[in-house]
Structure 1
């Protein structure tokens, strides 16, 4: 079932980043036929894996900033509970009172300051960040959305959806921080295939799409 992608600038950037990851997989597939002793095509699949996780991490940040800005700019709009409790530094409050910055800009700037360097790859951290823009349980609703798209043919739950993302990001961390070496081995890398990389990319795209629909 083809699902229409959101047309926001943020999600379109995510799709471009995901397509870049797919092109890395294709590059590896094309080079695999040459069986060169100096090229490990698995490195193309590893790069694609890291790129795909970076794509969803980047999208979560940009989506957070955009939605916070929209909510903060709407006077009288009922805000998510966590956003109403979001504390601003005294310097920001004084700047708003003096009229040198709007309240909306002050809130967005401080949200960026808090979350810019935070990794949004772990389901718990993602849920914590997105509580600023929604009161919904995004993981439960995303799992329900994926079930709806497959007409109930999938048994995915909130917990299994989280486990999928954790498994993908765990492998990403092994690639990025451990050179994807086998545990206790300083020479041999874990095996990786184009099918595994493609499956990880597909799962990441589905997760992002489902959460985008939940957020509305």
Structure 2
């Protein structure tokens, strides 16, 4: 019997189950129900080389592919999407599986080497990037399963929880390896498809003269030669920290990565929305724990000579979350590159260049985690909610350029935006034990081309907040050269976030409300 005839009924039954349920189902519940619905032969029930039932391992791979196409989601349980429902209706029988395989090959697998000398090149035995990622996560899951079994047997000859630590480390390594391969695959798509727009960082990749000569003078295949170079280039990088992951994918996409990933994850489970900084925070926590396991044997700083406790559920949740996030990254990046906007390739203004030069010399003290921690520590709940709403609004705005985290005694952050003719720092948040404020940087936007009318409208919109009634008069008397701060009494108002964000939207649109 053909493979499609064996796996197709299982895959189809899974999607029909999810359609009937109308809600996310835990994988264990899916497994139990599918086993009851579909006859599964002994060949598929037999364990694979890693001890897992073949049908269940294959279903994990196929549902991962389906999720990367948007046919289903795996966040907080398995659930079908509208695209998955349509596919069930449009492709009966084994055609459902065949269409999944066809679309996945067309949209997710790396491009073929069109310069290959042989019309039928040998098949590359290396699994595709996402398939290999899933395989590596399966190894991690098997470590968790093994630990659970040993715990039930009350094995005491060694610390069984070390298996969970090993699984955690394996899952992070799987993510690191997948990101590298995904970047290389997408870079190859750009190299072999000249009509696609190139991100700025892709255009700035260094190419050795030797590579140019191999392709130009010696007729070596571009695909093979360039891939080897990319693999060497990115093999020296580590993709565990969210900033490094975003930096890596910037070579192949202009997408605002973590904002878009947060949008994808929120759409998958609207009952549990997540923000871009929430995604980054979770990733940092996972990477920090991995480093603690790898470098200190998971030393518990609060208990001398003890390891930090870990459970099978914690390790399993980490594995599931990393798979879900990788799927969200694929969906965020899409099948092709978006058009590069002029703003994305303009030269950064001199003030920003100075900030970047300072940071490259290691002068920067604060970062996003320390800023978020300070807001949580120093701000009352109502002030904190307003500041975080303004902070998160920034990177979701199409005019956003970058955050700059300050170097003062307490954490601070400044948001830079494109104003049309130049870039400017529009607002800054300063935190501290005494109070936290939102400074609106009129002096900066004036110096970078904002008109008086545009600044006057911004001042008018903010003047309805407590303590800001005379804001426009004060700014006009100083020729808009001030950097006034909205105080906690204003930020604590329930309507503050809506007023501030609406005013910023109107200002950033050049006076036309978005």
TM-score normalised by L of structure 1: 0.91
Q: Which of 153, 168, 171 matches 2:286?
A: 168
Q: Which of 194, 198, 201 matches 1:82?
A: 201
Residue 21 of structure 1: aligned partner: 140
Residue 5 of structure 1: aligned partner: 67
Higher radius of gyration, 1 or 2: 2
Number of residue pairs aligned between Structure 1 and Structure 2:
215
C-alpha distance in 2, partners of 1:158/1:70? Answer: 27
C-alpha distance in 1, partners of 2:251/2:241? Answer: 16
CA contact (8 A) 1:96 1:103 kept: yes
CA 1:194–1:91 in structure 2 vs 1: closer, same or farther (change >3 Å)?
same
Residue 305 of structure 2: aligned partner: 187
CA 1:40–1:148 in structure 2 vs 1: closer, same or farther (change >3 Å)?
same
Q: Does 1:213 align with 2:275?
A: no
TM-score normalised by L of structure 2: 0.40
Within-5 A mapping of 1:132-147: 132-147=251-266
Residue 101 of structure 1: aligned partner: 220
C-alpha distance in 1, partners of 2:195/2:223? Answer: 13
C-alpha distance in 1, partners of 2:169/2:207? Answer: 34
C-alpha distance in 2, partners of 1:105/1:17? Answer: 25
Larger strand percent: 2
C-alpha distance in 2, partners of 1:77/1:104? Answer: 16
C-alpha distance in 2, partners of 1:41/1:52? Answer: 18
Q: How far off its partner does 1:139 sit?
A: 1.1
Residue 242 of structure 2: aligned partner: 123
Residue range with higher mean Cα deviation, 140-149 or 152-161: 152-161
Residue-by-residue CA offset, 1:140-171 (whole Å, 9 max, x unaligned): 10100001111x22231111101101100110
> Tell me, which stretches of 5 or more residues in structure 1 are unaligned?
none
Q: How far off its partner does 1:82 sit?
A: 1.4
Q: Which of 31, 47, 53 matches 2:166?
A: 47
C-alpha distance in 2, partners of 1:139/1:105? Answer: 31
> Tell me, which stretches of 5 or more residues in structure 2 are unaligned?
1-23, 26-62, 69-103, 110-127, 335-514
The list of structure 1 runs, each at least 4 consecutive aligned residues, that deviate by more than 6 angstroms after superposition, is none
Larger helix percent: 1
C-alpha distance in 1, partners of 2:233/2:185? Answer: 15
Q: How far off its partner does 1:13 sit?
A: 1.4
Residue range with higher mean Cα deviation, 122-131 or 102-111: 102-111
C-alpha distance in 1, partners of 2:135/2:222? Answer: 33
Residue-by-residue CA offset, 1:164-194 (whole Å, 9 max, x unaligned): 0110011001111111122387732111111
C-alpha distance in 2, partners of 1:118/1:46? Answer: 23
Residue range with higher mean Cα deviation, 103-112 or 133-142: 103-112
